[in-house]
Copies of this chain bind each other. A is one copy, B any other.
Amino acid sequence: MGALHDGHLSLMRQAAQENSDVFVSIYVNPTQFGVNEDLSSYPRTWDTDVAMLAELDRELAASDSGRISAIFAPTTKTMYPTLPPSSEVDGQGSFVLITPVGSVLEGASRPVFFRGVATVCMKLFNIVQPERAYFGQKDVQQTVVIRRMVQDFHLPMDIRIGVTRRELGGLAMSSRNVYLGARRRAVATVLSQALMRAEEQYHNGKRSRGDILWAANDIANSKMLEQDELPPSKRARFEVDYISLADPDSLEELEDVDETRGAILSGAIKMMPLEEPQDGEDCGLGGGTGTVRLIDNIILKPTK
C-alpha cells in the first residue's frame, strides 16, 4: 500500500536474496477499508516511495542479489474492472472470503478488512504469477489468512514471512506511525512491552491463558493509569482493543498453549486524539486529531 518504511524495505531485501526479479506492488486497496475507516487519509507518498525503491535497487545492484524489476501501481479500474469496489459488509462484487480466520481479532474490529486483503492479493497473484510473495509478520493475521488462501485455492506459490521491524523503544514499524507524533509514539510502545512481558511468561514455562495474558494486561493497565494521572497537556490516552492468545493456524483463542503447536500472542490498541497540543510540539501528520489504531504480535514457538 506504499507509504514505505524500513519494514517494507527489509521484505524487499529478503525477496531479492531469494529471487532474481522482485516485483513491488503499490496500491491502496479500497475494499479493505470499512466505510468509516481511513481510506481517504491513508498516507500516500508516491514520490518518496519511488525514491526509496530506486535507492534500494542501487544497493541491490552492488550486491549479489536479485533486483527490483518492476513497480506495479495499478488503477482501481484495473483492479476492479467491472463493478466499483465496495466497502460495505453486504456489498456487491467479486470477493474472496477466508473464514473463520478472517473474522476473528482484526476481522472482528474490521469486518471487510480480510475480504479486501484476500481479494486484492488473489488478483495481484494472478497478475504477477510470482513464485514467492513476501508479507511482514507485523500483520500476523494477514499472513494466516493469505497462507490459508494459498492452501485452500491451491495457488502455485510460496508465502514468505519477514520479521517485524521495530523503532527504538520497540514500536512495530507501520505506515500509520507517521500520525502519532512524539508524545503518542512514546506511549504506544506499551503494546510491544505488554506482549514481550507475556512472552517472558511463556519462556518461563507458563502455559495457561491467565498466566500469560495477565502479564500483558498488567503492563497495559499500569500505563493507562499512569497516563490518566498526567495533565491533559502531557498525556497520551489509549484504549486496548484486544490482547489475544490464539492458535497459530485456526486463530481460535486458547485456554492453554499446546507446546507442540505454540501460539500467536497479539494485540491492538487505539491511541486516542492528542489532548491540548503544545506550541511547537511534534504532533505527527494530521496534527494529532485522529485516533491511531496499532497492532503488534509475537509468535510463541513450539517448544517440543
Contacts and interface: CB of A to CB of B under 8 A. Distances in A.
Q: Which 8 A-B pairs have the closest CB atoms?
A: A94-B152, A126-B154, A92-B99, A92-B100, A95-B97, A127-B154, A94-B98, A123-B154
A122 B123 CA distance: 12
**Which of A81, A127, A153, A156 neighbours the largest number of chain B CB atoms within 10 Å of its CB?**
A153
B152 A129 contact: no
Contacts of A80: 152
B96 A156 contact: no
B99 A96 contact: no
Given A81-B151, A82-B148, A156 B126 contact: yes
A93 interface: yes
The size class of the interface chain A forms with chain B is 20 to 34
A34 B142 CA distance: 30
Interface in A67-125: 80-82, 92-100, 122-123
Given A92-B99, A94-B152, 16 more contacts: A80-B152, A81-B151, A81-B152, A82-B148, A82-B151, A92-B100, A93-B99, A94-B97, A94-B99, A94-B149, A94-B153, A95-B96, A95-B97, A95-B99, A96-B97, A126-B154
A163 interface: no
A35 interface: no
A126 B151 contact: no
Interface in A223-249: none
Interface in A149-171: 149, 151-156
Contacts of A156: 126, 129
Contacts of A97: 93-97
A85 to B, nearest CB: 10
A80 B98 CA distance: 12
26 contacts: A80-B152, A81-B151, A81-B152, A82-B148, A82-B151, A82-B152, A92-B99, A92-B100, A93-B97, A93-B99, A94-B96, A94-B98, A94-B99, A94-B148, A94-B149, A94-B152, A95-B96, A95-B97, A95-B99, A96-B96, A96-B97, A97-B97, A122-B153, A123-B153, A123-B154, A126-B156
